[in-house]
Structure 1
Amino acid sequence: MKLLLFFICLSTSVSIAQTQKPAAKPATAATKSPGQLVYEQNCLTCHQVNGSGVPNLNPPLRKTDWVLGDKTRLINVVLKGLQGQEIEGDVYDNAMPAHDFLTDTQIADVLTYIRSSFGNKASGITADEVKAVRK
């Protein structure tokens, strides 16, 4: 009898295990865009994983004119940093340092990622556009 119960339990466990879906695998570096990788390395700490920013410290990157609007202004923010500027009617106390150490391609990739993530739907930015502003 004990042996029969053991086989029934074993059979049920195998059956349940076979019907469960495997856990979703987290995104790896190979599945992330180059812009997302640059974002995670250089921007995420201040602007958060979802682009929401931190109230009174770091501005959001979601659906703001600074992100969706003039490309040159946005490229300059990355190249030169930003401090004490009113953004969407709010002032943020944390200064953004210049990220001019990034290559033109890295800046284009991260800004394209930002302009197409967090609910944003704006055109991409090219390395040539960054290069022209950097001059």
Structure 2
Amino acid sequence: MKKTLAIMALLALGSGPVLAQKKPAAKMAATAGIPAASLLKGKSIYTQYCLTCHQADGGGVDGLNPPLTKTDYVLGDKTRLINVLVNGLQGVDINDEPYNNVMPSQDFLTDQQMADVLTYVRNNFGNKASAVTAAEVKAVRTANKK
């Protein structure tokens, strides 16, 4: 009888508020003055359109899809990076490494979506860089039309 009561007590403890507690939802903290909402939107876009080729950790695939971690393309000139999304990319070495897969244009994304995903990439995977704005994306698109 004592064993039964002990087992029931343990079960009661396990079925109470302890099990009802939920792990807090992951929140993305604002980085260097970049709004958390922009980073969250960027992460969502990355997950939908970029993750398959560039991987969850931004490490890319050797010889096919370049990494997004600490590369000149990601951390360098924003205009060049925006042009990759607007125009796509093919046959370019990234940090002296050849990558043979074609990066298709992502020009179906809005200016704000491009800004959010590029800001996300520039501030994740060990990267720390300034945000990309929708105005910067719009300026690159306009310059490309000329």
TM-score range, shorter chain: 0.7 to 0.9
1:7, CA displacement in angstroms? 1.2
* In structure 2, distance between residues paired with 1:23 and 1:48: 28
Code of the aligned partner of 2:9? S
Partner of 1:75: 82
The one of 95, 99, 115 aligned to 1:92: 99
Partner of 2:132: 125
Partner of 1:52: 59
1:73-109 CA-partner distances (Å, limit 9, x unpaired): 0000000000000101111010000111110000000
Partner of 2:123: 116
* In structure 2, distance between residues paired with 1:71 and 1:20: 47
Code of the aligned partner of 2:81? L
What SS class does the counterpart of residue 11 from structure 2 fall into?
helix
* In structure 1, distance between residues paired with 2:107 and 2:55: 21
Code of the aligned partner of 1:47? H
Code of the aligned partner of 1:115? R
Scaled by the length of structure 2, the TM-score of the pair is 0.81
Distance 1:88 1:21, change over 3 A: farther
* In structure 2, distance between residues paired with 1:24 and 1:34: 22
Q: Which runs of 5+ in 2 are unaligned?
A: 28-36
The one of 129, 135, 141 aligned to 1:134: 141
Scaled by the length of structure 1, the TM-score of the pair is 0.87
1:46, CA displacement in angstroms? 0.2
Code of the aligned partner of 2:114? I
1:24, CA displacement in angstroms? 3.5
Runs in 1 of length 4+ with deviation above 4 angstroms? 16-23, 25-28
Q: Which runs of 5+ in 1 are unaligned?
A: none
Partner of 1:12: 10
Equivalences, count: 131
* In structure 1, distance between residues paired with 2:117 and 2:4: 56
